[in-house]
Structure 1
């Protein structure tokens, strides 16, 4: 179902702080035109947890409409309880999303057993396929063995999105799942290790840098698929350098957003949440720095 580069899209903001659907649709169309293989709204890069439930629904619907069947849409859902998560799964299915990505329940720190039970019940009741989303930097880590059991025992758990950056965990996921479920989607969300993850067996990536440099991220994937290892390494090195430049700006995903603005892929907006005046004042300089980083990475206008 999911192979290649699925962009974890930013959520453009309107002047009133709401969702700018026109900019969202334009960005989605631009990304598809650059050759990406799918779209992933409402993830960490899209600040899904900072949106209201209604805003997330609007983002999902607008993205599915913009994709218009040209590429699959994987949308982020999830809350602190099962019923809210299921309601968003149902809405995603109504909009035509191919699947949903779900983190462990937020705020409390559930045990591995509780996480597994949550996903079992979700998979049993969701009308759309579920990807287990492991992102230890923002949510309770989901152990490899839990994901493996879910993959083997729950047909409606259709993949995993792993943003740990742990190559050894990726090897374990691929080696223990793919022999029995070759259709299971294993995606990496860590831009700095896209190529090693592909070599380990991942079928693709959800890489935030693609918001500003989709052709570079796609190049890593395409070069790997073609067996051109030297070119793939060179592209990965450029991708990692650009990724580091973005991560070094503000709080995530500030650098991702400012790089997309510097590229002209999104209109400039102020952050959704309040920031110190000094940080906002520094955005113009950050855009110039990131524009230079894009140029150094070989990304054109």
Structure 2
């Protein structure tokens, strides 16, 4: 069952395993479907995820209000009931609101929060360092840095090293670039000074290679559709069966690419969840008739791929 300890982790306090950046169920009026969210959380835990990650990119955090975001985390924390750790997305539009979110989530009992660098306005490294220093100094919960430079200011290697050295509240890095060389540089810079500092990859196509290279786990969108598959990759790496890990990695790559190519993110992953029997709604945005038609066309093909992988996983 879920712990903060990976089979190959040097430190039992390090975040590890597969944290699912869960989709956010909505009803026909676009409201958060709390009952469906609770059921979905139970299903994810029962199917092997090591932690939950509400309010991530896959959970479409920017499409919900601050009040809704807090309620989403509250529901997830309550439903997990300590069975798995919760890493809550706490990014807001400015530092004061981010600190408020951190403190609210800390009071709810999350294990840690994940925060992107400032977005919309592109900041330099010193300003990114100052931003996270302010949060770590005034927040009441452990912080995981979230590097996603396609949407936010990049968190450079030297900034990660400085923050790890200066701020014990900063306990990890989630990187969604898939850049292996950059991840290796970060681990080389930080591991000698902080053996409790976790590294998680948010890029499904590189999950197995990153785990083999020494990262502690992943926050992977596909885990919200096929948690059995992402957990199989993780389990095979941590038990030393790299050949099997890469076999499952290629299946993960294929499914991730298929779902990523559908509509607008995370449409394909909502569709994938539907294939598993979860009607999580169509999301928050107003959508065109052509988009709905496009989703219907690819559903049967996706069903075939998901069924094939499940049969293989079950042996």
Match of 2:93 among 75, 80, 103: 80
The aligned runs of 1:1-301 (5 Å cut-off) are 1-264=14-277, 266-298=278-310
Contiguous gaps of at least 5 residues in structure 1: none
Q: Deviations over 1:245-286 (max 9, x none)?
A: 11110111111111011111x215223102221001222223
Equivalents in 2 of 1:287, 1:125: separation in Å? 47
Tell me, yes or no, if the aligned pair for 2:112 and 2:141 is still in contact at 8 Å. yes
Tell me the SS of whatever aligns to 2:310: coil
**Runs of 4 or more consecutive aligned structure 1 residues displaced over 6 Å after TM superposition:** none
Mapped partners of 1:43, 1:121: distance in 2: 22
Alpha-carbon contact 1:9-1:43 (below 8 Å) kept: yes
Secondary structure class of the residue paired with 1:282: helix
CA distance in 1, matches of 2:280, 2:194: 43
- Supply the distance in 2 between the matched residues of 1:86 and 1:50 (Cα, whole angstroms): 20
Assess if the C-alpha contact under 8 Å between 1:262 and 1:290 holds in 2: yes
Distance 1:223 1:26 in 2: 28
- 2-side partners of 1:254 and 1:81: how far apart? 28
Q: Which moved more, 1:118-127 or 1:175-184?
A: 175-184
Alpha-carbon distance in structure 1 between the residues aligned to 2:49 and 2:280? 23
The question of whether the paired residues in 2 share the 8 Å contact of 1:79 and 1:106 is answered with no
- Looking at structure 2, the residues matched to 151 and 277 of structure 1 have their Cα atoms a distance apart, in angstroms, of 48
Shift of 1:169: 0.8
- CA–CA separation in structure 1 for the residues paired with 2:227 and 2:292: 26
- The CA distance in 2 between the partners of 1:116 and 1:215, in whole Å, is 37
* Number of residue pairs the alignment of both structures matches: 300
SS at match of 1:75: strand
Counterpart CA distance in 1 for 2:27 and 2:298 is 21
CA deviation profile, 1:1-40 (whole Å, cap 9, x unmatched): 4111000000100122110111111111001001110000
SS in 1 for 2:123: coil
